[in-house]
Every structure is written in C-alpha cells, then in structure tokens.
Structure 1
Amino acid sequence: MDSNKILNGKFTFKKLPNGSIDKTKVICGFCGCELSYHRSTSSLKYHLMAKHTADGNSPLPGQSQATMDVFRQKHMDTTTKNKLTAAIAKWVATACRPVNVVEDEGLADIIRIASNDWTYELPSRATITSNVQKLYETEKAKVQQALDNTKAVALTGDYWTSVSNHNYLGVTAHYFDPQWKLQAHALTVLKTEERHFADAVAEHFMQVAREWDIEQKVVSLTTDSARNMIAAARQLPFVHVPCIAHSVHRAVTVSLTNSPFDSALAKCRKVVGHFKHSPANQAELEQQQVTHNKKKESLAQEVSTRWNSTLEMIKRVQRNAEPLKDALALHTTNIAMPTVTELEKLKKLEAVLEHCRYVSELLGGEKFVSCSVVLPALCHLSRVMEVTEDDPAYTIKFKGTFAADMEGRKEKTNITWLRVATALDPRSDSNEIGVLSQFCYTRTCTCIKVAFHFISRFKDLKCLSKPDRAEVWGTIRALLQEMVRERPAQPDNKVTPEPPTKKPTLMLTNESSSDEEEDSIDQCLRRYKSEPLTGMDDCPQEWWSTHEGAHSEMARLARKYLATPATSVPSERLFSLSGHVVQKKRASLLSENVNRLVCLSNWLKAKK
C-alpha cells in the first residue's frame, strides 16, 4: 500500500516544489481540492460524503476494488422522515416561521449532516402547509373538548391593525379545568371589514361564541374602556369587566397633563430623542457609561399608549444622569439636562409611579387569579396616594389629581363582580404592617412581588367598609339561592300512596323545603366564612381544589368569578404574536392562515 495515499487512494499527500511530501496537506483525487490533515480522516470522509456522494462510493480511475463499508450511503427510513416532517411543521407553527423556510438549502444541509443521509430532501411547502392544517385541527379539537367540559368561560377581546392595514379582533378564553388549573386559550384572530360601531362589535363577539358553542357558558367579557366596547357590552348577555390596567394608565396620563412635572419630563423626552435617533450619539453615551462604571443600556422612549413607559424613561435618565451630562457636553446643542431640582422632582414621581407599575404587572396574568386582586390593589393605590406631611406641593397636586380621576373610573368598573371575586379568594396576610408580600398563584408561574400596605386581605374584605362587606355577603347569598332554584329536580323513583289530604300536605312540604333550602344556604355561607384564612404565599386555586368537596356550591361560584381576567392583556398578547406572523414579507397572508397560525402557536406554547 502506498504510504502517500489515504482512504484507498482517494486522497494523496501534497507534493512540494522541491519534491518532498507535506504530510499536513492532502489532495482530493476527485476534485483536486487541498485539505488539511491532522492524522484523522473524519474531515476527509465528510468531504467525500458532502461533495462526492455518487463518486465517493466508486473507485478512482485505475482502481478495481470498491470503497470501504464506512462510505456506504445511509438512507433515512420512512417512519423517521414522517416524524421529521411533523417536527418541522410543529416548529414552523410554534415559532411563527414562514412556510418557505423549507426551501432553505442551509436547513437541508444541517439535517443531512445530523442524519448522515446525504440524499435527504426537505418536504415541500404544500406538505408543511397540510401538516400545519392537520395539527391545527387536532389542537382545536382538544381546546373544543376542554371548553365542552367546563361550565363557565370568561373572555377577553381587543382589536388590532396589521402592517397591511387590516383589522383583526383577538379573543381569548379563560376557565378552570377539573383540577382547578386556570387555562387560557386563544379562540380567534378574526379579520373584520366593518367599522367598529357597537352593533358590529357585539356581533363579532357573538360570532366567536357561536363558533365555539359557548354562548350559554360565557359569564364575563374583559375589554378596554373604549366607548364602542362599552356600548357593545350593553348589547351582549355577558357581564362586562373594564380593563383595570387601562384605567390606571389613563389616570396616570391625565395626572401628568399640565402638571408641575411638565418641564422636567419635556427635557427628558428631548434628551432621549437626541440619543435614540442617532447611532453616533448612542455610541458616545455608551462610552461615557463605561467611563462612569455604569451598565451599557439605551434610553427608554416615552410612548403615550405604552404602559409605564414614562416611569421607565425617568428611571433610565436618572441612572445615567452623569454619563448623559458628559455626553451632551461633547457637542454644542440646545439639549439641556434636567436640573438637580427637576431630578429630585422626578425621583418623587418615580416613587409614586412604581406603585402603578406594580398593579399593572400584578393584574396582567393569564395563569393565575387576577380578578380578586383588583379591589385590594385599588385600595393600595388609594392609600399610597394619600397626602403626607413630607410631600412637597407638586407631589400633593399629582396625588390629588390621580386619586380624583381614579375614583371616577372606579365607579365605572363592575364593582359588584369584583367584590364577589374578592370574597371568594381565601387568602390573607396576617401582618398588619406594610410588608413585601409574595403572590404565588400556581406551582409553575413566576411569583410577582408587590408591596401592599395594610390591605393584603381578600375573603375578610378588609379593603371594604363594614356596610359594603355585609352587602357583598348578601349578594353571594342571593347568588346561592339562584343556583338552588336553577338546580335540576332529582327524579323520585319511589311510588308512595297519595295522602288523603293532598293540598295542605303539599303546601306544608313546599314550605318545609323552602326553609331547608334557606338553612342550607346559611350553613354553606357560615362554613365558608369560618374557614381559616390562608397565607399570601398560598395559591387560591390549590385551596379550592382541596376544599371543593366541603364547599361545592361556593366552589361553583368561585369557578365562575375567579376565572375572569382583570385586564384585556391576554388578548393584546395575541397581537404581539400576530406581529411575528403578519410581517412585511407576509403582508398578503390570508386572514384564515393568520388565524390558524396565531391560534396554533398560542395553543402549542401553552403546553410548554
């Protein structure tokens, strides 16, 4: 065997001009390509399989022997190919990838290397589209079955305009499964053609309810407080719950308009714009941040419709006050940093706005109970907005404006619904002082920490006055009575002789039955109210899962009221997802495909 040849003569060592042999370089016998050689033939084998699939198994001219078995082509079996096609379709749906990703030769090369099958070809676009359609139908059937097995469903909804200037309605459903896990599913991203007048909006929601056969199960609808939404809700047979986070944001916006903070905020906006709109200015800021031992970060732009953007702008300007000042000093501009006095004002404003951010984050969840937290959260805001002796005049004005505006918006919320939901939440904080309480709603969700002072109480309704507490329990009693009346009569298979005095006996029986029902309802309420309050770290869903047997009637109410989201954030999250689907490259995507891809992605991600 020639010592200058490798792999049965397919490669030879490189000859140098002086006639010597360079054993660190080899020449391919098929294409003449020069490759590095480090006493391992792995890279050489890859070259043969990648570049010479057909020739690699054939002998070179002049050779009579076949190649070694190691170069025998490996073919992927049909079962593996089908599994791989299904996995690609699921990846396309979950990650909102365009279907034409299967035409990417780079993806094909990756799979060929991983599978060692150099004959593998990616499935066609039609195949992936068909698989996505089948996957959608399968997942939709699962969601439909889950909705069929529940008796109370809460909805959220909002409208969105795509990059192609098409209007879509996003609707999500929320309910408890038999194990008391709060489920959230996208129901539709429906393209709408009509103007969003109240009649059309109401019909859109009813259309979605009819499509999923939940017309008789929808108990509440959470939307923003737009006039057309409120007017549409009056025409629907569902309880309307306005988005509390929208109300808090609007109260903040109103309170900052013509406020003593106007001058300082205007300077912050100009400073942010100066660095956000110029890469060169941003680079100078980053250099100054390094000089001042600060973390590199960009400034946050205030957007009137983006929650907490004013707070984030203030925080970043304050954190980078010195780097900003030095970066602005490098050029002669008319951009002025806020003065020391103005920065002090902004620091006071930041402390107040942090509480609003806490509430917005707390109420925006999908996997944990949020409706019962609304009244304690609003009570918390009311307390932190109380004027203290240490408050300067500008803070007093802001707090007064916010409290008055928020009180007016609170009256437009569904107070009765929120009060009942709060009473059905068994949690309480044993501490009567301001603490940092931890809200843990499920084993899998991320805990949200919020500072609630004095009012971290739910079932005992400490966030309400005593007359209001009595009214809430009276409302719950009436709801229990209504449930008893609607309960289907139990068939009596026993045949008993008819008593001689039928009419008086029936009258006495009805009266006795009514008294028994009243006693049963009173006992039900007493048992629930006497249950020890759970800790703030406990999950109300887990509490109900272990106490449902002892409080079956109250549990039915809890399933109905606690599943209601406090905000319309879940439906708005659909539009963040939709933005990945309806891109500029796919602006002409059919509306039914938008609905299919967004909903399917939502369902698949919910399983993770």
Structure 2
Amino acid sequence: MLLRAAAAAGVARRASLQNRKREGGARAGRKEGEGPPPRSARALLDPPSHEGARLEELPQRHRSSSAQASRLYHIMQVAEDACTSFEDELLFCEDCRLYFRDSCPQHGPPTFVADRPVPERAQSRALLSLPEGLLVKERSQGGLGVWSALPALPRGCIFGPYEGEVVREHGDCTRYSWAVQDNGSYFFVDASDDSRSNWMRYVACASTEEEQNLTVFQYRGYIYYRVCQTIPADTELLVWIGEEYARTLGLRLGEHFKYEFGEKELLMKLFQELHLKTPPPPPAPHAPSSRTQYLCGDAAASPLLPLHKPGLPPGGSPFPLLEGTQNLVGLGRAQSRYWTFFGFQGDAYGRILDKSKIICKLCGVRLSYSGNTTNLRQHLIYKHRCEYNQLVGTQTAALDKGVLGTASEFGAPRPPAPGRTTRAVADFIVLDLMPVEVVEGEGFGQMLGVLDPNYKPPDAASLAHTVLRDMQTHVKGKIWELVRTLPQCSLSLDIWRHSNTLTYLTLTVHYVDDCFEARARVLSSRPIPEEPSADGLAEALSEAAKEWGVRESTSYTVGGLGLTTQQAAAALGWTALPCIGQALRAAMEAVLSQPAVQGAFERLRRLASWALAGAGRGEKLWAQEPLLQAHLGRFLRDGGKWHSAYAVLQGLLEHSDPLAGLGPDGEATLRPQDWAALRDAAKVLKPMAIATSTFTKDPFSSLSLVKPVLTSLLYKHLVGSEWDSALVLEAKAAAQKELNQHFSSPDVNQALNLACALDPRFRGLDFLSHSDRVETLHLLKAEASRLAESPAAQASGPPGMALPPSPPAKVPKQDAGIEFLLGDLCSMRAASGTSSAHQQVEQEASSFQSSKASALGQDPLQWWKMHHTQYPLLARAARKLLGVPATSVPAGWLFSSAGDAMHTKRQALTPEHVDMLVFLHGNRAMLY
C-alpha cells in the first residue's frame, strides 16, 4: 500500500502545478507507523464530508473549490492507473483492512486454497477440481452453484487462480469471463469450456451486497476469489467485484459508476465500452454537478442496464419529476427499478449525506430507508399508482424487446402482445394443473378483462389443440432425445383413480445424468383397467417403454399393484420393487387400526367436536391454553390421516392435563385407558414418522436409503421389550408384519443390498449379516463387470477412463526351455483373471469398501461426482442403482397433504387432457 500511494503521488507530482510539489512529496514520503496509507489517489484530494448539511447550501459552500477539483480531475485518473499496476503485486487483509506484500505484519501470510489436481482436457475437469469441503449443487434459480460443507470458511481465505482459456478479443462476453489487466492492456479468461477451466466457473454472482461473501481481485496476472465475510456451513459461495477489481478495470466506483449486482455480462460489456470509447473531456469549471455523471459517455444510454443516474433531468424522463430532484444521489449498487423515483440527499460531489432517509422524486416526501425497497414500492402503489403502472409496463417491454420502451400514453402501461398473454394463460394452466376449461369461466374472463380489456382469450378447445399441444410436442421431443440414449434407467409406476370408471397409469423415468444428478421425467399417463391382469399391465408397460426407447435400458420398476406388477415386470425382464411410502403407510395404518386406538380416537373426536362447536364452552380454557383450540381443530381435520396422525397426537398429548376433565355436563369424555392408548400409539408411530420425514428431504430419495431404514425399524424400534404394554406389543407386531410382507422377496432384498453397497455412507454394509455381505459384494463385482463389458460401455468407455485395448496377437515363435516346461502353467494362471475389466472391478471394489464411510448427511451422488474417476467401473453401477427411487411418486405426495391436493387436481381434468397436462406439469422445468 505504501508503494501504491507513493507511485500515485509521484505521478500526480509530475503532472500537477509547482505549488503541489511539496504536498505530493509529503504523501510519497509517508513513513511506516504514521497511520494507514490512503486507499486510492482520489482519497488524497477529496474534501471532508459534510454531515448534516442541507442540499441547497452545498453548491455555494463548494463553488470555490470546484474549479480546483476540475483541474486535478485528470491528475487523479492518471494516479489511479499508476496505482493499479502496483496493486497487482499486493494482497489485502480483511481483518486490518490494509494491503501487504506476501505476508500481513499482523496476521501472517494468507491461506491459499488449492484445487484438486486434474489433467487438462479431462472430462468434467471443472467439477473434479473442486477442493475438499466444497460442494457443487443445483441452485433454486437454475444452473449450478458452489456451497460450503465446512463448519466455517474464515475471512481472508483465497481461492484460485481462476482458470480458463485466454482470449484477447472477446466480442461476446459470457458469464464465465473475467478481465485481466496486463501492462496497460486487457485480456479475458473465459471458463466456458468445463474441460479447460476449474470449479470457480460455478460460483454464482451475488445479487445483493448483503449476500456477497467472496470478492474477486487480480494478483500477479491471475484472478482470485477472497472470502470477505465468514461463510457458515451449507451456505452458497457468491462473488462480486469490489474497489480493487473495479480499479483494475478502470471502473472507478468513486466516480459513481453504476452497476447491477449479479449482472456480470453487463459489467463486462460496460467495461469493453469504457475502453473502446474515447474518454469524455474533463468537466468544465464551475459545474459541480458534472462530477456525478457517468464517465463512459454513450454507454450510459444502454437500454439493458438501468443505471439509476442521480442527475437525471426532468425533461429527459417520461415521469413528472419535481424540479431539483436531478441532484439527488442514487444508490450505487441498487437493483430495483423503483429507484427511478427515489434518491438520497447528497453534497456537491455526489456523496450521500444520510442513508436513513430517502426522498421521492415525484412528491418530495421523505421515507425511512432500511436497506430494502418495501417502503419504496408501497409508497408508489398507494401514492403514485399511475407512475408505478407505467414503470412496470415500461420495464417489462424493455426485457421483451431489448430496448427500454415507454408507455404510449402517460399513466397507461403498454398492454402485452396477445400471443404473450395467451402463453401466460397456458403457463398458468400447466403450472397449477388446472382444467383447460377454466379459461371459459366467468370469473377468469372478468379477471383478464381488468388486466387487459382488449384481450380475448381463446376457447378451451383452441387453447388445448394449439398452444398446449405445441408445448407438449416441444417438451416431448427434448425428453425423447434425452432418454433414448440412456444406458441405464428405472421406471416408477403411479396407478391412480380418476373416477369411478377410469384408472390411469403414469410412468416416470428415473436416471442419473453425466454430472451425477438424479433426474425424473414424466413419460405418459395411460388409462388401464381398474384391476388389470399381469399380461395387460405388461403390455401397457411394454408399449410405453418402446415408444420412449427405454425398453432395453430399464432394469427396475418402483410401485404398482403388488403381485400383479411383479409378474408384469418379470415378463419384461425387469425387477419390481415396492414403494417405501406405501409400505410405511400400511405399517402406520396397522397401528392406528388397533381397536383400543380406534376407540380412543373416536372419543377424542367427539370431545373436539363438542368443545369447538358450542359457543362459550371452551373460552376459559382457550384463554389458559391458547394453542389447544388449534390442536383440536387440526385433529378434526387431519387426525384420521396416517401421515399426520403422529404430529397431531403429539400436540394433544402435550395438553392432556386440561383435556382430561373436559366433557359434556362436566364429565370427562376421555378415560385414563384412552390416554394410555394414545400414548402407546404415539410411541410406536414415532420412529416411522421420523422415517417418513427422512424420505421427504428430496422429491425422490435414493433406493440405497431403504434397507438401512427398514433394518433400523424391524430390528430395533419395532422390537418388543418386556417393559412394553400389551397394546404396544400388538402394534409393533402388526407394523413389522406389514413391512416384512412388502420386502420379503429375495430379488427385492438383493437390489436393496446392491444399492447400499454403492452408497458411500453405507459401503461397509455393517447392518447385514456376514453371509449377506459376502454375497452382496460378489453380486456387486459381477454387476460392475457386466456393465463394463456391455456394448454401450464398450462404445463410450467407463466414465473418465477407458479400458486398455486388447494387445495385437503375437506371431508364435519356437519355445525356449522355460516356455516348454512352464508355459502351460503360466497361461493357466493368467487365464484365471478372466478379463482386464474383472481385475479392475476387483481393485476398485476392494479400495471402495475399505475406505472410510461418508457422513450420513452427505448426498451419495455428490460424493460420486467427486470420485467417479477414481472408481470408473463402480461409478457405472452407482449411476444405475442410485438412480432408482425409493418412492413411486414425489415423497411430498405420500407423506403430506400435498398428495391429496394433487389427487384432487388430477381428478378435475377432463380425460382427453389428462395425458397432456400431467406430462407438462411433471416436466414444467423443461418448458423454459
């Protein structure tokens, strides 16, 4: 920092007037220990801030110094450029807020986190370079992001360098590009190619200053990310620029350069415009407000980036802004469009005086500002509704057309194009799974008439046969291209009743893609008989599988109708697996069907109805126990549902004392034996309720989780003990019977064990007997060898590694003595290793099984994403077995009331639209 400040002052001294020499020399000669050096050359010349000064007083107060500031304007720019060349050799300490070379005097050298070494041009090189303690996951906004799995990432840790292809001429900036300064010129590091980049390409840009936890900077010609605030566990890493990188690019945040958080491509485009355009002339004397203007000339007119310039003249705006509001200062990092109408009071140099109060440019009212735009939006809606509508309509049109349009008439937003509105109506039907006929409803038409009086929606038949049918065709083509080339997949069978006379079979394909992400795509919904035969079900499954090209790649099915599904799957060469959700439901319903439990539930239902129905009956009790009324209401609503029975019971048992004496005529409705039955039922239901919540963490949990959960229930939590009551023993036995009945097939247990053997959390198979463990490992090696020798594997090779080619046949030669004596013995020994694939599987299985098990909370597919090149043949088997779901439908449909709502929606669809709408709703993520 000392070198940087000295260089800046030296340049300023050569370029400035003689009367500034001594001042520049004093700055250049600053000694260590005299206080922290200035952060930039601009800070040497900025006057002190004026806290509390009024807006109208500031221009007069600073008018005398404005000419001097204008003359030194270019001097500061040159000094800043000189500083950046020295910053390339300096690092920054986040704790003491000072620059240093190599090692901070107070805190020592920084921590550089190294990438995993991966060869260049390796498949998925960017993912494989991820350091230990970080995870790559799918973001809710789409795309991939990086999360921390460590307890905490401390401030000051440095990741990098950012790797990619060096590009000198970068016409089309991408979100994977960063600019690097090199001796006054610039080049780009482009990480678009994941085989030539590292994991840093997946770090997303922060959308607000509060969520930013990484800062990008340049050091010795490379781009690095520095942790700028402590990152807790399970937190996404989010990066954005700071003053260091802004100065490196010449963007000068101190000049009120406006940029949008998260808009990296726009930032790079503005950077290009800045260095391609001629710099603007220095500001004229006696023009204090000119210092707040954007420095990049025409770039400020870019329609793609709302710059929120503080000096927007009223005449250049379609909105009636008050005179003088052009001097209000905007927030440099503001994202919201509402900032068009608001600004802070500032001084003549554009610095904000009070960030707690913000001023409306339409009416001059001062509002409290706390860091978000809630107050701004509400003020516009209630006080300036006309301008608010115009703003929203204008910016929506700008996103569609790429230009910032304005309303054709002041105060009236431009209506969207009819085609866009029709597509929005179709999206509404698909996303909410509504009947197409809703567009012909009176209320729907009235709502559209208010939103757009000129729009007339198409009738239901036209909408279904045009827009919705085109959407189905588009998505169907994309899915068909995806699934027809899958080497391995599985199918889940959802058999549901539409009406008294109509039953549907909805097929969903499940697979693990090349990035080791689990995928589920709905294929079709076909009507089937209410009680189909095994042959009829096999025919329906075969037709659907052939239509989608998954007949040969399918190995397992999940769900269905028990024995009928098993026979149909066996006829097709598949293995039918039960749905764990249906098994848990049967076990929990077996507990709830115990006579003592049913009797207690019935009396509790009568008590709840009496207490809630009569006016004034429970007012005194509700005052003492405010949550009791809600618990009783929930019991009447959800108490009879198996998936919510335990939670409802828990809430009521906590209020057993006030309920014990409650009843008509002062007599207690619930007897002591009823309370004992309810407590026993809750005790037995508890481990199964926890199991349901375990499977609900993901829409489709992996099959590998089923066997450990079943083993825990059957051999620990549902085992009777001498302290259990008779009711508990009977309930546990009934639950055990149901679970054993669903998973008694040897083929089913074999599949469950294989999935566990490939899950890094359960790789030791400690919950299996010794004989089962040996048999499972033998089956695992055979399965991995079979997959490696399959035609698909031979065509593509194992993930990340190819099997060595067979050596060419050698020309036989005359045997020497040793060959004559021992040749047969040696050839027999060599033949015992049947193939190189089998030998490699043996090595991989031995290494994998002896490695330390992963944490129970770790996603097994994330582990395989990091280690599939270490075990390439086992990785094939992992993609096959770990891609099989544990449930036949999303877990939320089974273990919550969401399933009831979904069933009601599907029943409301007309039969001719069932297949189309269920398909589009299930694959809605592929519509955009």
Could you tell me the TM-score, scaled by structure 1's length?
0.70
Tell me whether 1:267 sits opposite 2:603 in the alignment: no
Q: 1:371 aligns with which of 703, 711, 718?
A: 703
Tell me whether 1:356 sits opposite 2:681 in the alignment: no
Alignment of 1:526-605 (within 5 A): 526-570=846-890, 577=902, 579-583=904-908, 589-591=910-912, 593-604=913-924
Mapped to 2, the partners of 1:120 and 1:516 lie a distance apart of 68
Alignment of 1:149-548 (within 5 A): 149-163=485-499, 165-193=501-529, 195-224=531-560, 226-254=562-590, 262-272=595-605, 275=608, 280=613, 288-295=621-628, 296-297=630-631, 298-300=633-635, 307-308=642-643, 310-312=645-647, 314-315=649-650, 317-319=652-654, 321=656, 328-329=663-664, 337-363=669-695, 367=699, 369-381=701-713, 382-403=715-736, 406-412=739-745, 414-427=748-761, 458-487=762-791, 488=794, 498-499=811-812, 511=831, 514=834, 516-548=836-868
**SS of corresponding position for 1:569:** coil
Tell me: CA distance 1:497–1:412, structure 2 relative to 1, closer, same or farther (3 Å): closer
Tell me: CA distance 1:308–1:240, structure 2 relative to 1, closer, same or farther (3 Å): same
Mapped to 2, the partners of 1:602 and 1:491 lie a distance apart of 42
2:511–2:520 contact (8 Å) kept in structure 1: yes
- Which of 1 and 2 has higher RCO (CA within 8 Å, sep 6+)? 1
Match of 2:426 in 1: 89
**Structure 1 stretch 531-540 or stretch 98-107: which is displaced more?**
98-107
Cα-to-partner distance string for 1:444-485 (whole Å, 9 max, x where unaligned): xxxxxxxxxxxxxx1111111222212211111222332344
Cα-to-partner distance string for 1:125-147 (whole Å, 9 max, x where unaligned): 45532111111111222222221
Tell me: CA distance 1:400–1:582, structure 2 relative to 1, closer, same or farther (3 Å): closer
Mapped to 1, the partners of 2:531 and 2:733 lie a distance apart of 38
1:153–1:173 contact (8 Å) kept in structure 2: yes
1:176–1:559 contact (8 Å) kept in structure 2: yes
Cα-to-partner distance string for 1:241-280 (whole Å, 9 max, x where unaligned): 11233233334444565x5xx2343131243267569983
**SS of corresponding position for 1:189:** strand
Tell me: CA distance 1:326–1:277, structure 2 relative to 1, closer, same or farther (3 Å): closer
Alignment of 1:64-75 (within 5 A): none
Mapped to 2, the partners of 1:420 and 1:143 lie a distance apart of 28
Tell me: CA distance 1:320–1:522, structure 2 relative to 1, closer, same or farther (3 Å): same
Letter matched to residue 604 of structure 1: R
Mapped to 2, the partners of 1:577 and 1:401 lie a distance apart of 30
Letter matched to residue 680 of structure 2: K
Match of 1:147 in 2: 483
1:222–1:566 contact (8 Å) kept in structure 2: yes
Cα-to-partner distance string for 1:361-402 (whole Å, 9 max, x where unaligned): 434666454311111111211211233454334333433454
Tell me: CA distance 1:155–1:388, structure 2 relative to 1, closer, same or farther (3 Å): same
Gaps of 5+ in 2: 1-381, 389-407, 796-802
- TM-superposed deviation, 1:75: 6.0
- TM-superposed deviation, 1:292: 2.5
- TM-superposed deviation, 1:355: 0.6
Mapped to 2, the partners of 1:304 and 1:230 lie a distance apart of 34
Tell me whether 1:119 sits opposite 2:454 in the alignment: yes
Cα-to-partner distance string for 1:385-437 (whole Å, 9 max, x where unaligned): 2334543343334334544554454323601110010010002xxxxxxxxxx
Q: C-alpha root-mean-square deviation of aligned residues, in Å?
A: 4.2
Match of 1:441 in 2: none
- TM-superposed deviation, 1:231: 2.9
1:220–1:238 contact (8 Å) kept in structure 2: yes
Mapped to 1, the partners of 2:678 and 2:383 lie a distance apart of 67
Tell me: CA distance 1:276–1:548, structure 2 relative to 1, closer, same or farther (3 Å): farther
**SS of corresponding position for 1:157:** strand
Mapped to 1, the partners of 2:387 and 2:872 lie a distance apart of 69
Tell me: CA distance 1:480–1:408, structure 2 relative to 1, closer, same or farther (3 Å): same
Mapped to 1, the partners of 2:529 and 2:742 lie a distance apart of 31
Tell me: CA distance 1:111–1:270, structure 2 relative to 1, closer, same or farther (3 Å): same
**SS of corresponding position for 2:923:** helix
Gaps of 5+ in 1: 1-39, 47-68, 428-457
Letter matched to residue 729 of structure 2: I
Cα-to-partner distance string for 1:492-532 (whole Å, 9 max, x where unaligned): 89988854689x99995983873644432221212322333
- TM-superposed deviation, 1:182: 0.7
Mapped to 1, the partners of 2:789 and 2:386 lie a distance apart of 82
Tell me: CA distance 1:400–1:90, structure 2 relative to 1, closer, same or farther (3 Å): closer
2:784–2:876 contact (8 Å) kept in structure 1: no
Mapped to 2, the partners of 1:408 and 1:128 lie a distance apart of 48
1:302–1:313 contact (8 Å) kept in structure 2: no
Tell me: CA distance 1:253–1:513, structure 2 relative to 1, closer, same or farther (3 Å): closer
Mapped to 2, the partners of 1:168 and 1:408 lie a distance apart of 26
Tell me: CA distance 1:146–1:277, structure 2 relative to 1, closer, same or farther (3 Å): farther
**SS of corresponding position for 1:162:** strand
- TM-superposed deviation, 1:597: 0.6
- Percent same amino acid among aligned pairs? 21
Pairs aligned (count): 501
Mapped to 2, the partners of 1:337 and 1:363 lie a distance apart of 37
Tell me: CA distance 1:154–1:398, structure 2 relative to 1, closer, same or farther (3 Å): same
Mapped to 1, the partners of 2:544 and 2:769 lie a distance apart of 40
**SS of corresponding position for 2:834:** helix
Mapped to 1, the partners of 2:646 and 2:424 lie a distance apart of 43
**Structure 1 stretch 234-243 or stretch 385-394: which is displaced more?**
385-394
1:168–1:192 contact (8 Å) kept in structure 2: yes
2:534–2:567 contact (8 Å) kept in structure 1: yes
- TM-superposed deviation, 1:322: 5.6
Could you tell me the TM-score, scaled by structure 2's length?
0.48
Match of 1:49 in 2: none
Mapped to 1, the partners of 2:640 and 2:880 lie a distance apart of 31
Tell me: CA distance 1:179–1:254, structure 2 relative to 1, closer, same or farther (3 Å): same
**Structure 1 stretch 369-378 or stretch 393-402: which is displaced more?**
393-402
**Structure 1 stretch 365-374 or stretch 569-578: which is displaced more?**
569-578
**SS of corresponding position for 2:857:** coil
